[in-house]
Amino acid sequence: MAGCVARRALAVGSRWWSRSLTGARGPRPLCAAGGAGAFPPAATTTTRRHLSSRNRPEGKVLETVGVFEVPKQNGKYETGQLFLHSVFGYRGVVLFPWQARLYDRDVASVAPEKAENPAGHGSKEVKGKTHTYYQVLIDARDCPHISQRSQTEAVTFLANHDDSRALYAIPGLDYVSHEDILPYTSTDQVPIQHELFERFLLYDQTKAPPFVARETLRAWQEKNHPWLELSDVHRETTENIRVTVIPFYMGMREAQNSHVYWWRYCIRLENLDSDVVQLRERHWRIFSLSGTLETVRGRGVVGRVSIIRPVMPVRSVKALVITIFNFIVTVAAAFVCTYLGSQYIFAEMASRVLAALIVASVVGLAELYVMVRAMEGELGEL
């Protein structure tokens, strides 16, 4: 612990991550402090002895977690890579990568006539670029500290029965963008607490990272690939609110001789402004291939009116983010497929195009959410 210099912290509830920012060469110790209460936003301690004096809040004890590695600018992280999430601060481990197409509407397309644009209806024409995301496990110890900003039951799926509409969730499973990975190493043979960690990964000290995929992980990935796969990511910033949307096609169910199509959406909101923003309403405009337009709106998201605060200077990220997972849309209801019968039997590719059409309106020019801005002192009046 002697070398743990704490000059900046990632605050996650009552848990505090610190790392050396001194510029000295060599491994940087990664430390964690647990205990009740809120940790101060920043510290300037240089040793544990110093920390244990007046600068250490009562009840906080630093524990060694591991050593930071240099984040990869190129290439992919391997299965078994330990990391901290640069935004939410939780500990996690990489299971396997996904190659997605990122449609960033904040970046002007160099050649719009050649742009890949699966979504029409007046949206900006953008060219998709390959971007790496990772399927990861979240450490169960950190889930309580991020539950207000990121739903930890991130991945839902339909039951295997063809006639069942039951939804199931896998707690502590997440999708993480490459730039959100802060890699580290640990000498602990079980550094992540998750019920699937030892079922999916095997400790092998001769490997780097020292955790390799078990056959159960490969079999699980192959079996569940259709509803796990991440293929398209859409991003746009409106009035300093950046919205990132990831659609997932979950499958089809038959109901009364017609077809019901299910999608799952991961939505991430980032407040890039200096003002506090309150999320008051959601507003969906959903287009079908048949030309049908459906509007869905309601208060907040999944029953909550969330507050998105501006950038916190003590954080090693540029925005505080609220992630809303599992906003499940029953597409058949939106497209009136239950009344039109089997003439709208979509192939997998058509389903993806249809999902992209929905996303086009989701990220388009503040049509997804109505944001009510207020300074922090005025939020109580809303």
The predicted structure's pLDDT at residue 68: 92
CA gyration radius for the chain? 22
Give the integer Cα–Cα distance in Å for 108 and 275. 27
Question: What Cα–Cα distance (Å) separates residue 112 from each residue in 92, 128, 237?
Answer: 38, 11, 19
Residue 29: asked if its preceding bond is cis (omega within 30°), the reply is no
Q: How far apart are the first and last CA of the chain?
A: 46
Q: Which CATH fold would you assign to the domain 69-381? A: Immunoglobulin-like (2.60.40)
Residue 289 · residue 261 · CB < 8 Å: no
Q: How many CA atoms lie within 13 A of 277 on its CB side?
A: 24
DSSP state of 71: P
- Token readout for 74 is 């190129």
The predicted structure's pLDDT at residue 164: 64
Which residue in this structure is represented by tokens 């506090």? 276
- Token readout for 180 is 């959100």
How confident is the prediction along the chain (382 residues), in pLDDT tens digits per residue?
433 333 333 333 333 443 333 334 455 556 555 443 333 333 333 333 333 334 445 556 677 788 999 999 989 999 999 999 998 889 999 999 999 999 998 875 444 444 455 544 445 577 889 999 999 999 999 888 877 666 656 677 776 656 566 777 788 999 999 999 999 999 889 999 999 999 999 999 899 999 999 999 999 999 888 888 888 999 999 888 888 989 888 887 777 777 778 888 888 888 888 888 887 888 888 777 777 788 888 876 655 656 666 643 222 222 334 443 333 433 333 343 333 343 444 445 445 544 554 554 444 433 333 333 333 333 333 3
The predicted structure's pLDDT at residue 355: 54
Given the DSSP bridges, would you call strands 91-104 and 232-238 parallel, antiparallel or unpaired? parallel
DSSP state of 90: -
The predicted structure's pLDDT at residue 155: 77
- Token readout for 204 is 């092998």
The predicted structure's pLDDT at residue 202: 95
DSSP state of 150: B
SS3 280: strand
The predicted structure's pLDDT at residue 257: 77
The predicted structure's pLDDT at residue 268: 86
Question: What are the residue ranges spanned by the domains of the chain?
Answer: 1-68, 69-381
- Token readout for 127 is 């060219």
DSSP assignment of 104-138, as one string? ETTS--S-GGG------TTPPP---EEEEEEEEEE
- pLDDT, tens digit (0-9, with 9 covering 90-100), for 292-309: 788 888 876 655 656 666
Residue 223 · residue 255 · CB < 8 Å: no
Residue 113 · residue 134 · CB < 8 Å: no
The predicted structure's pLDDT at residue 31: 59
The predicted structure's pLDDT at residue 216: 96
Handedness of CA 37, 11, 176, 214 (dihedral sign): negative
- Token readout for 310 is 């501006």
DSSP state of 190: S
For residue 340, the surrounding DSSP H or E stretch is helix 337-340
pTM over 0.75: no
